[in-house]
Chains A and B, each alone.
Chain A
Amino acid sequence: MHGRLKVRTTEEERERKKKEQTLKVKAYRAAMAKIQEKRRLQQLDDEMLVLTSQILLRNPDVSTLWNIRRECVEQKSLNIDDVDQRQAIYDTELNFSEQCLLVNPKSYNGWHHRCWTLEHSPTANWEREVMLCSKYLKMDERNFHTWDYRRYVVEKARTSKQNELDFCTEKIKANFSNYSSWHHRSLLLPQLYPYEGDAQPKRAMNEEKLKEELEMVLTAAFTDPNDSSAWFYQRWLLGYSRQELDVCAFRCDNNRAVLSFTNPIILTEEDVVITDSKGNIKKKITNWKSINGAKSDTTWFCSLNGDKVLEHINDQYLLELHITDINVKQITLKTYKQSVYFFKPPNQSFTFTENVLNELQTQLESCESLLEYEPDSKWTLLTSALLMRAIGSQKYHDKSLKYLGKLEKVDILRENYYRDMASKWILEKYLLDWTSSEDFPGKLDLRNEEHLNAIFYPQYLCIADIVLVSEKLNHYSDKKQLQGFIAFKL
């Protein structure tokens, strides 16, 4: 076999790797020991920088070593007055962290060290950092560390937002399965194209742009309906934002008062006043108690101890609110038996302008045609249902629930999620219908709603004297809160 090649067997290779590993471990431990010894002696010198870099270049995730490095850098730059010389120290750190990030592009420590270095260096070249981000995102367009860092340096570099948006668009074109990029977009668009109309709740951006974005996201959805990133972005576009703080319901007689809000708030003594139609203060309600005994709550009640607040029940009474976050300052109250009340059913549909409404309608039609090809597509079904709710929750009530029913079957893992969502929609409709029923607001009968599995809006129920619920809901986990309402009788 003279002159022939001999190749290592895997056994030999394993043995060799093991030996190499042992040697590396030995070197690692020796270096760590030396670093700790030097730190104890506060020898924060160049040798320390060399030692830490030898380890960090192999494993950039040892926070301690980065901390020691920062101590060294501070120490080193302490006695140097010359700006260029000081800058040189920080430039070394920048280059070093760049090398480490090539080893592990998702090293929290590495990215943090860059931020620290730039913040402390005499002159920071932020444009260079933006370019570095572009370079890194070319290698991995989904590295959220880089996107995060990019937002930080872009702010510092004062890069034009339009440039950022264009960059974002390029990345989405290359691969739209990119939550980071969609997110980046969602932060830029409201600033670049602010909404100036007065629809409530406020749209995320101006309607023209919104339309474009919806089209783009639909293209992604049609290309791959199973990719969730685009659908999530679409949900954001369609404005499933948090409901704004508002009054839901109020009821009061001479003995007790109850007041509830869409979101939890802290109600203070000066906040609520009842006046008559002439503006005379009848009662300043002060001793509010949270229904759950919490500091912040959606529902508040108080005992009025026969204060004769409502002397002439047929008079017109008004509720005055002095709460900063609520736009409505005065509410006209209606009369029911010996009490006055106010009720605004939950969020029925968004008030879109004609323009957006047409776009939503188009989107819905496209989704429906997509369903012809993909009848079981989860995201398409869900989006269609949500679109229907956005366009007209009354009009599409049955159909949207039918879609949720289908979703329970095709996406069995999230079956209860869809059931809960259906319960929410059912209750919304029920509460709306309730306002025109004979029993309103004294009695609420939910016993016939067989698909109602949970009560999402307990704060709306508080004005009823009696809430009749089915056996199923009696076992509802949030029973405590619910029972609080049922027990609450005027």
Chain B
Amino acid sequence: MSDDLPDKFDLIVIGTGFPESCVAAAASRIGKTVLHIDPNEYYGGVWASFNLESFCALLEQGGNKELRNASQKWHVAETLKVAEAESDTVAGETNIKTDAAKQNVLDWSRETLLQQSRRFNLDLSPKILYSAGRLVQLLVSSNICRYAEFRAVDHVCTRFQNNIINVPCSRSDVFNTKDLNIVEKRLLMKFLTLCMTYGEDKTDEDALQFRGKTFREYLQEQKVTEKISICVMQAIAMCNDDTSFEEGMARTQQFLNSLGRYGNTPFLFPMYGCGEIPQCFCRLCAVFGGIYCLKRQIDDINIEADTNIASVVLEGKTIKAQHVVSAPGHLPNAFLQRNVGVYGQAELVNSLSRGIFLSATPLGSEELNSGGGGVNLLRLLAGTQEAILIQLSHFSGTCPKGVFLFHITTTAQSDQPAQDLAPFVSQVFNPDDENAPKLLYSAYFTIMGRERTSATPNVDVSTTIFCTSTPYYELDYDKSIISAREIFAKLYADAEFLPRAPDPEEIVIEGEDPRALSENSLPDDLREQLRELENSAENMDIEDTDAAQAGECTQEDAETQNMDAD
């Protein structure tokens, strides 16, 4: 190894997925020395985003330890020329049904899509953030948000009588929607207002009356219409028939609390894909001194019996660390075979069946995709199973203009993701439906899940090695954050988890007197003006009290007038 790494760290983190990056940033932030390694040549592990070419390549090679059962299919011709020839000569054999769709599909070929490969950011684990959710709160409170950019989700949709309709989220949505009559509008608003204030009064009658009942029963009691009930159940509370009243209410409140913050809906999507999120944490870690090494294999980890210090063998070199945190798939085999106790080492559970689809047309009506479409969220149901569909347009920075990217995620029922997803795919990409988007490309894979079971055997309190969890089936990052915080709390019991990082202007350069204010900190024109006028001002009798008043005028007059005008 050519680079000159220190031979001792407080913490070594293996894997740059979301929970690992979270722990690495938090440790670095409180002054711990951190070495962050990833065996892959890219950041993010199963949380990464890929351009189209690398994504296809990854699937081509059959995935890896964490991504399995990969398959992909091109629904367009190799090149445009061939496509034209084909449609002219053997039109009957193609899957293209309508002229309009034909035209759209014909705009693309495998070649033209791959030419734009770098415009794609295909997420392995796509997520949608609640505007007031745990991740957004963490990004804001830790000041990590300065590294990220977001797009407010444009529409939350639901399926009603085989149509995809917009779920009115905000007050103006309710006002504008043609899907509800005025009485329904009132009922919906009233119901949502009720949910907002629910729980403020501890002796709430509903709380007692519906304890142990389902949220659906509660909705029925509110005498709302079928349409409203579907909107609330499927898209707002995102619950099933057997979801408890308390849970449904909590989710509705989470939805409502996130409203009115950034956009028309309560959700955000990270620009350029969710792969950005772990990298934001890595960046903070690096700012506070964390060292990054990608494409490095860990050969082995040894634990000194008396001190519990880990010796990590990194491509022949031994580095010592107080603790090691690793993504589930990255612990070296040699180490695993010795069967040492690892906190959080988990069984294969909670795998996710994933589908990624490209189309030249968006899903749903023009109204849902005005101005070229944005980010739409749709929760799909099939029997007792559910799936989350995220539609992305080029405005999200995840695909080129003219292409729409669809992510469908559901919990894995088998090792055949295409089969798991089939009941949902058929609802939105039904080839017999003229209005359904025509696919250009589709891919299926399984994200292998490993979750920590609550009681992990063979682990004593002084354990050195910790294992994180893979992505959960959830819209936001809540469970992953909880799990990362849990590990951090085990490592550094009394330390604060990601306190606010200072902005550059708050940072004092070493040797600088923090109280000193030089003219240099003034804006250019003001400084110039000050210098120029200093001489003429010397002759004037300026008393400090007067000056203070004048100062108030300049600063506060504008504010006062603002308020007056309001």
Which residues of B are found within 8 Å of A68, using beta-carbon distances? none
Interface residues of B in 520-566 (CB under 8 A from A): 521-522, 525-526, 529-530, 533-534, 536-537, 540, 542, 546-548, 550-551, 553-555, 557-558, 561-562, 565-566
Other-chain contact of B526, A8, A24, A144 (Cβ < 8 Å): A24
B250 within 8 Å of A (CB atoms): no
A26 within 8 Å of B (CB atoms): yes
B461 within 8 Å of A (CB atoms): no
Minimum CB–CB distance from B560 to chain A (whole Å) comes to: 9
Q: Is the interface of B mostly helix, strand, loop or mixed?
A: helix
A98 within 8 Å of B (CB atoms): no
Minimum CB–CB distance from B155 to chain A (whole Å) comes to: 15
- Known interface pairs A8-B506, A108-B565, A218-B182; A30-B533 also in contact (CB < 8 Å): yes
Which residues of A are found within 8 Å of B85, using beta-carbon distances? none
Interface residues of A in 53-68 (CB under 8 A from B): 54-55, 58-62
Minimum CB–CB distance from B423 to chain A (whole Å) comes to: 36
A293 within 8 Å of B (CB atoms): no
A369 within 8 Å of B (CB atoms): yes
Minimum CB–CB distance from B76 to chain A (whole Å) comes to: 38
Interface residues on B, range: 35 or more
- Known interface pairs A7-B506, A25-B551, A34-B536; A222-B542 also in contact (CB < 8 Å): no
- State A72–B566 Cα separation when bound (angstroms): 31
Which residue of A has the minimal Cβ distance to B521? A20
B97 within 8 Å of A (CB atoms): no
- Known interface pairs A145-B565, A173-B172; A7-B502 also in contact (CB < 8 Å): yes
Which residue of B has the minimal Cβ distance to A27? B530
Other-chain contact of A23, B519, B553, B565 (Cβ < 8 Å): B519
A366 within 8 Å of B (CB atoms): yes
B517 within 8 Å of A (CB atoms): yes
Interface contact B550-A374, CB-CB below 8 Å:
no
0/1 string, A1-35, CB within 8 A of B gives 1: 00111111100110110011111111111111110
Other-chain contact of B542, A6, A26, A145, A224 (Cβ < 8 Å): A26
0/1 string, A453-484, CB within 8 A of B gives 1: 00000000000000000000000000000000
- State A13–B514 Cα separation when bound (angstroms): 8
Interface contact B551-A28, CB-CB below 8 Å:
yes
Minimum CB–CB distance from A487 to chain B (whole Å) comes to: 48
Which residues of B are found within 8 Å of A373, using beta-carbon distances? 183, 186-187, 190
Minimum CB–CB distance from A214 to chain B (whole Å) comes to: 12
Interface residues of A in 40-94 (CB under 8 A from B): 51, 54-55, 58-62
0/1 string, A173-217, CB within 8 A of B gives 1: 111100000000000000000000000000000000000000000
Interface contact B190-A15, CB-CB below 8 Å:
no
Which residue of B has the minimal Cβ distance to A17? B517
- Known interface pairs A104-B561, A373-B190; A23-B522 also in contact (CB < 8 Å): yes
Interface contact A58-B554, CB-CB below 8 Å:
yes
0/1 string, A437-464, CB within 8 A of B gives 1: 0000000000000000000000000000
B176 within 8 Å of A (CB atoms): yes
Interface contact A8-B514, CB-CB below 8 Å:
yes
Which residues of B are found within 8 Å of A106, using beta-carbon distances? 561-562, 565-566
Other-chain contact of B508, A6, A28, A369 (Cβ < 8 Å): A6
- State A98–B533 Cα separation when bound (angstroms): 27
- State A21–B551 Cα separation when bound (angstroms): 7
Interface contact B175-A220, CB-CB below 8 Å:
yes
Interface contact B547-A23, CB-CB below 8 Å:
no
- State A367–B502 Cα separation when bound (angstroms): 55
Which residue of A has the minimal Cβ distance to B187? A373
Interface contact A175-B530, CB-CB below 8 Å:
no
0/1 string, B169-213, CB within 8 A of A gives 1: 001101110000011011101100000000000000000000000
B120 within 8 Å of A (CB atoms): no
Interface contact B515-A15, CB-CB below 8 Å:
yes
B130 within 8 Å of A (CB atoms): no
A107 within 8 Å of B (CB atoms): yes
- Known interface pairs A27-B533, A30-B537, A224-B171; A8-B558 also in contact (CB < 8 Å): no
- State A173–B176 Cα separation when bound (angstroms): 6
Interface contact A54-B31, CB-CB below 8 Å:
no
Interface contact A4-B31, CB-CB below 8 Å:
yes
Which residues of B are found within 8 Å of A34, using beta-carbon distances? 533, 536
- State A12–B172 Cα separation when bound (angstroms): 45
Which residues of A are found within 8 Å of B521, using beta-carbon distances? 20
Interface contact A3-B185, CB-CB below 8 Å:
no
Minimum CB–CB distance from A1 to chain B (whole Å) comes to: 9
Which residue of A has the minimal Cβ distance to B546? A29
Interface residues of B in 50-77 (CB under 8 A from A): none
- State A33–B558 Cα separation when bound (angstroms): 20
Interface contact A61-B557, CB-CB below 8 Å:
yes
Interface residues of B in 389-435 (CB under 8 A from A): none
B288 within 8 Å of A (CB atoms): yes
Which residues of A are found within 8 Å of B554, using beta-carbon distances? 24-25, 28, 55, 58-59
A305 within 8 Å of B (CB atoms): no
0/1 string, B491-511, CB within 8 A of A gives 1: 000000000001000111010
Which residues of A are found within 8 Å of B547, using beta-carbon distances? 22, 25-26, 29
B289 within 8 Å of A (CB atoms): yes
Minimum CB–CB distance from A7 to chain B (whole Å) comes to: 4
Interface contact A54-B186, CB-CB below 8 Å:
no
- State A419–B561 Cα separation when bound (angstroms): 37
0/1 string, B284-307, CB within 8 A of A gives 1: 000011000000000000000000
- State A374–B537 Cα separation when bound (angstroms): 67
- State A27–B534 Cα separation when bound (angstroms): 8
Interface contact A222-B183, CB-CB below 8 Å:
yes
A490 within 8 Å of B (CB atoms): no
Interface contact A104-B548, CB-CB below 8 Å:
no
- State A4–B515 Cα separation when bound (angstroms): 19
Which residue of B has the minimal Cβ distance to A55? B554
A103 within 8 Å of B (CB atoms): yes
Which residue of B has the minimal Cβ distance to A28? B554
Which residues of B are found within 8 Å of A54, using beta-carbon distances? 525-526, 529
Interface contact A8-B508, CB-CB below 8 Å:
yes
Other-chain contact of A29, B176, B507, B542 (Cβ < 8 Å): B542
Which residue of B has the minimal Cβ distance to A20? B517
Interface contact A59-B557, CB-CB below 8 Å:
yes
A370 within 8 Å of B (CB atoms): yes
Which residues of A are found within 8 Å of B522, using beta-carbon distances? 20, 23-24
Which residues of B are found within 8 Å of A6, using beta-carbon distances? 507-508, 510, 514
Minimum CB–CB distance from B488 to chain A (whole Å) comes to: 20
Interface contact B508-A7, CB-CB below 8 Å:
yes
- State A3–B189 Cα separation when bound (angstroms): 55
Max count, chain A CB within 10 A of own CB: residue among B172, B186, B515: B186
Minimum CB–CB distance from A329 to chain B (whole Å) comes to: 47
A324 within 8 Å of B (CB atoms): no
Interface contact A223-B185, CB-CB below 8 Å:
yes
Which residue of A has the minimal Cβ distance to B509? A6
Known: A16-B515, A27-B533, A29-B547. 9 other contacts (CB 8 A): A3-B289, A6-B510, A16-B517, A25-B550, A29-B542, A59-B558, A108-B561, A176-B175, A370-B186
Q: List 6 A-B contacts (CB under 8 A).
A: A5-B288, A6-B514, A7-B502, A59-B558, A62-B557, A222-B189
Q: Which 4 A-B pairs have the closest CB atoms?
A: A25-B551, A106-B565, A30-B533, A30-B537
The interface of chain B, by Cβ under 8 A from chain A, is 31, 171-172, 174-176, 182-183, 185-187, 189-190, 288-289, 502, 506-508, 510, 514-515, 517, 519, 521-522, 525-526, 529-530, 533-534, 536-537, 540, 542, 546-548, 550-551, 553-555, 557-558, 561-562, 565-566
